[in-house]
A = this chain, B = another copy of it.
Amino acid sequence: MTASVGVRRRRLDGEAKVRGATRYAADVPVQGLLHARLVQVFEAHARIAGIDVSSALEVPGVVAVLTAGDLPFVDGASGRAAEPLARGEVLFAGHPVALVLAESEAAAEDGAELVSVDYEPLPAVLDMEAAMAPDSPLARVEAPVEDDSDVGAAHAAVGGGEEDEPTEELSDNVTARQRLAAGDVDAALAASQAVVSGRFTTSRVYQAYLEPQTATAWIEPEGEVVVNTSTQGAFPTRQTLAGLFGLPLERIRVRPAPLGGAFGGKLMVVEPLVVGATLALLRPVRLALTRMEDFTSSNPAPGQVIELEAGARSDGTLTAVRGRVICDDGGNADLAVGSISALLSSGPYRWEARDITGYDVRTNRVGAGAYRAPGAPPAAFAIEALIDDLAGRLGVDPIELRLQNVLKEGDTGPDGGAFPVFGAAECLERVRSHPLWARRGELPDDEGVAVGIGWWPGGLEPAAAACRLDSDGGLTIVTGAVDMSGTETTFATIAAEAFGLPLDKVRVVAADTASGTYAGMSGGSKVTYTVGAAVERAARDAREQLLRMASSELEIAPEDLEIVDGKVQPIGVPSEARSVAELAQEILRFGGRYEPVEGHGRTAQTSRAPGAAAHLTHLRVNRDTGDVEVLSHVVAQDVGRALNPDLVEGQMQGGAAQGIGWALMESLTDNEEGQPVTTSFVSYAVPTVDRVPPMELEVVEVPAPDGPFGAKGVGEPPVVGVAAAVANAVAEATGVRLRDLPLTPERVWSALGAAG
């Protein structure tokens, strides 16, 4: 067997990216291109009285200024994608109200500055909790077109649980409410020896991809609309665009460009604008968001408030958890992160009873979206703090308490169903055995070591893949999946292993929606688990085809053949080997008598493979400045099977680094009028290399029964538990529990001062 799985390999796309040769979405040359620039209104809530575009149109090079009514959506098109420009009502400070199209970027920018918007301010709804009150002003005065798709889908995606009809009185600002309840919480808490509680808040966080969102659209002479875009999903984008503009699927071809980061944020923000504009103007249109536009008008992670109460018996058994999870979804969100976060807020633990309700609330902020494990870091921050607090009350080891209660295969999971294979316990055991954990009692003053664990259920979506043997004896894997974080390199590993060829003989093509095999959005930590499984099947199918062909050529039964070093041979008889290239040339020729070797794999995973990562962090708190310095950080993550350890570790490292941002510095901030003040990397802090601690990466492998070679999703889990571990370590170091993210020096200093 050729060993490809488990071997460290560079990313196939790495060299081109390092050389600067990768053509990102903004780099594709298009003739006759119009450049687009947003006209944004920086009033949190307002009614638009009029938009004067006359001065803008006088700018040389400006071709058109489009407002909401100019984009040719079908009647009834609903949801955020159908409203990329404000329809009469500004819903957040930064809301785009018009799109300027010009022959150059400079002209578009000049034009945008000259568009004059006349508006009447409306009461701004900025406090998510106050917004829930029945008498709250509404963040959206004009009712939106009914959206019957995405919120429900996101809800269904994370599983059900017990529901009832609420008697709560809520304002129409509450766009979704999801209650997950089981057992008698009151009784369970009453019977608990320890009960802890807290109110936790987390900030709005920007995905901070290097490449701002970018899309280009044009119409081929035959009428096909081509969309070259920094999307995470070609097929979902095609389907949504077709619905929005009432076009048959074959009229739209989505060509995914290499992504310069995405992290959940790149889906349907820019595409409706460029497609709408190109259909309106019949010219190619590109919108490459400026960093400020991206900061102020895309879809960051929502701010959250989580109030939780949790109990345990003196023997360490967790009893019940209850509370509420509120998401500040902003003015034009589609995704109900609150529902997901509510599901995750009980942590990866067994509870005798639970009752958590998630609320998604519309406010006058930019609409929230998905960011790596949406809703999970806040949920872990809250529940992991309570778990540590319970351990303190009970006087037990925090890891032991977690190990005693952590979900195992067959337990009832948070959605009420049987929980699948899960490696959280193994991750906890791994950090428990780390020397750092033993040093916990011997630390200098103001230093702390603590753990936090995070998990992610993992998405599921049907997928297909093709595996073609080419005339040089190499394989080409074709999928419709966008490469995120090296998934194509992983596909190559899977195919090489399944077929039996060296990795360098495998090429991977992300096809467009015309010729690709089906895949959904790259996200939800599902690409390797679902598309990768299809790739494995396709490669095995192709291998069988080749062995049958070789069986005919060599006159030996297929089961007596093996593929070794790029050759097919009778098992153990290299002298009779025929190279795969030679066989391929015998197949792929005029008059050839063998069918092409082209495997096809299709999957619909129905078993989940949740991922988990335990974090062990060591930090020092500067009591004079409030600064928290993470000295070292251990990530133990169950990856199922490390198909390529380099890539897996890269995910662990990157996720943990982003978790440090959640923990210590990242926060999209508005002024009192709801106007954004963090609109660039000058004012919005992300962890730079000096703030990312030295990391130790512990790869834990608890194979997923249905994953390719046991692999499971690795993208989301590593970000989830970082802030939880950091906050727990600050509590360890200082004895003060901080419940508001990020743990900025100001907050830490103030809390220490208040604690005396």
A residues neighboring B (CB under 8 Å):
16, 20-23, 27, 29-32, 153, 156-157, 220-223, 235, 239, 242, 248-250, 459-464, 466, 468, 470-472, 474, 476, 478, 507, 509, 511-512, 514-518, 520-521, 524, 545, 587-596, 598, 600, 602-604, 606
Contact = CB atoms under 8 A, between A and B. Distances in A.
Which of A460, A466, A468, A598 has the most chain B CB atoms closer than 10 A to its own CB? A598
B593 A602 contact: no
A486 B105 CA distance: 43
Given A596-B602, A604-B593, A604-B594, A462 B242 contact: no
A220 B20 CA distance: 12
B222 A23 contact: yes
B464 A518 contact: no
A592 B462 CA distance: 6
A597 to B, nearest CB: 8
Contacts of A520: 588-590
A560 to B, nearest CB: 23
A509 B478 CA distance: 15
Given A235-B588, A249-B474, A590-B459, A511 B515 contact: yes
A247 to B, nearest CB: 10
A470 B459 CA distance: 21
Contact of A220 (B23, B248, B588): B23
Contacts of A512: 515
Contacts of A22: 221-222
Contacts of A242: 472
B600 A250 contact: no
Contact of A596 (B23, B517, B606): B517
Q: How many copies does the complex hold?
A: 2
A425 to B, nearest CB: 27
A590 B517 CA distance: 16
25 contacts: A22-B221, A29-B32, A31-B31, A235-B471, A242-B472, A248-B474, A249-B470, A459-B591, A460-B592, A461-B589, A462-B593, A464-B595, A464-B596, A466-B466, A468-B517, A478-B515, A509-B514, A509-B515, A511-B514, A517-B596, A518-B596, A520-B590, A595-B602, A595-B603, A600-B600
A20 B221 CA distance: 8
A515 B234 CA distance: 15
Given A16-B221, A461-B592, A593-B604, 19 more contacts: A20-B221, A22-B221, A153-B589, A153-B591, A156-B591, A157-B590, A235-B588, A239-B471, A250-B476, A461-B590, A468-B518, A478-B514, A511-B511, A518-B588, A518-B596, A518-B598, A545-B602, A595-B604, A598-B602
Contacts of A598: 464, 517-518, 600, 602
A476 B249 CA distance: 10
A546 to B, nearest CB: 12
Nearest to A469: B518
A472 B590 contact: no
A550 to B, nearest CB: 15
Contact of A592 (B239, B594, B604): B604
Contact of A153 (B20, B27, B590): B590
Contacts of A514: 476, 478, 509, 511
A396 to B, nearest CB: 38
A541 to B, nearest CB: 9
A16 B222 contact: yes
A478 B520 CA distance: 19
Nearest to A153: B590
Contact of A472 (B23, B249, B606): B249
A423 B435 CA distance: 85
Contacts of A157: 590-591
A112 to B, nearest CB: 26
Contacts of A239: 471
A507 B474 CA distance: 29
Nearest to A605: B593
A460 to B, nearest CB: 5
A653 to B, nearest CB: 26
Contacts of A478: 514-515
B461 A21 contact: no
Given A242-B472, A514-B509, A598-B602, A462 B587 contact: yes
Q: Please give me the 8 A-B residue pairs with the lowest Cβ-Cβ distance, nearest first.
A: A511-B515, A595-B602, A21-B221, A600-B600, A29-B31, A518-B596, A16-B222, A515-B515
A377 B509 CA distance: 44
Contacts of A592: 460-462, 604
Contacts of A603: 595
A461 B235 contact: no
B248 A472 contact: yes
A512 B253 CA distance: 14
A408 B249 CA distance: 48
Which of A470, A511, A593, A596 has the most chain B CB atoms closer than 10 A to its own CB? A596
Contact of A462 (B459, B511, B596): B596
A90 to B, nearest CB: 31
Contacts of A223: 16, 21
A183 to B, nearest CB: 26
Contacts of A602: 545, 595-596, 598
Contacts of A509: 514-515
